[in-house]
Structure 1
């Protein structure tokens, strides 16, 4: 239950009964929350156009059971203008949150990372690295963070080194020509705000998506298909 208005975003919604909607919110203090927005499809409902993905909201809800009842929702700013690849990237982020988080598990750090991502998506120059930063934050917040500073034997990661991730969490130094290796520069860049140059950006994408795939249960994401991506394409492929 949310006693007062709380910052939130809509991740997904579907029609429910004759005039209502079931909406998945991602809230700053409560994490993912399922709510019933009663009458939201009515022609005079103020929620009809408000409960849309990517629009910042202030919301409150209450009640018992798996689905709460939405009590209030009001705008907390303008939604970012997302079209084409930017829209696909936003849908991809929403699907990751729906698939990998559980209801009622607060992640204020992840909420902040999602908010930052939405602000960056309209800028084509920032979009891809913003996605990488969000993916890394998602893994970290859910307890699956990548080892970016030290190898399994305690040696510090250096920009000139080559490394391989084994078993999802074990980082080992390897020879420069080793298959599946990633550069130390890529790993170190994932700790900061600035994207790595050149090929390192592609390495970061492959590394993060391999790590995410371990937690998706073998089921491909749907978002790459929604705007014309190949059926079954790896997560985020259409925007890379």
Structure 2
């Protein structure tokens, strides 16, 4: 989390009430480019994940011009200090500077990074602040860049994403009994209601109480925990995405069986 702390130290405008009509001007906000696409002849629309303002859409005017200052700056997985103005849903990028201090993602880690970005674009509402999730994102990029196990790192991030967006309750408590889950008992997670004991007719992924407790403590050393958590997170993400496919997830499944 040291990198997250360093990014947080970049001066940023204090967070205010979040709404579709946001602040007129934001200065030097820590952020990352999640995605960008062409806009008119010389500009880009940039989807930015900022620390205190969440996901925002910005017009980067002239960013496609050969000598634009922004041309080499607006790259994915690079820590930035971003400024913008405007109060419409799509604001105007006024400045972006590279902060540095992070290793680049390479090979399979790079593909994992694109998977993280696709999750954030599809699951985060715009203009909702998620400071803890931003810090977790920074930590996850650092873990991937340093060669830590992608399956474990991705499971941890997926769990944090569902928790921070408010769609995952406490998975260590059974909603039927109100008690802590039993390690040896088998459960399912109802996406809308939480954990309950599994039934023979359930078509949802079945997981042991031990797996749920391991996930809560971010302990993925057990191979059964790894296997069950993979199927569980795939199911829950699909539900909350309304069945919409994740392009990078399918590539990761094909290449790495994540």
TM-score w.r.t. length of structure 1? 0.88
* Residue 136 (structure 2) aligned to one of 107, 113, 132: 113
| Cα drift, residue 228 of structure 1 | 7.9
> Structure 1 residue 40 and structure 2 residue 68: aligned?
no
Q: Is the 8 A contact 1:132 1:208 kept in 2?
A: yes
In 1, Cα distance between equivalents of 2:124 and 2:116: 12
In 1, Cα distance between equivalents of 2:85 and 2:26: 8
Give matches, 1:109-188, under 5 Å. 109-152=132-175, 153-174=177-198, 180-188=205-213
Change (3 A) 1:42 1:78: farther
| 3-state DSSP of counterpart to 1:83 | coil
Change (3 A) 1:239 1:73: farther
TM-score w.r.t. length of structure 2? 0.82
Give matches, 1:19-98, under 5 Å. 19-98=42-121
- Runs of at least 5 residues in structure 1 that lack an aligned partner in the other structure: 231-236
> Structure 1 residue 198 and structure 2 residue 229: aligned?
no
In 1, Cα distance between equivalents of 2:216 and 2:249: 26
Q: Is the 8 A contact 2:174 2:196 kept in 1?
A: yes
Corresponding pairs, count: 232
In 2, Cα distance between equivalents of 1:6 and 1:70: 11
In 1, Cα distance between equivalents of 2:26 and 2:120: 24
- Cα RMSD between the aligned structures? 2.3
In 2, Cα distance between equivalents of 1:208 and 1:181: 12
- Runs of at least 5 residues in structure 2 that lack an aligned partner in the other structure: 1-22
| 3-state DSSP of counterpart to 2:26 | coil
In 2, Cα distance between equivalents of 1:146 and 1:130: 20
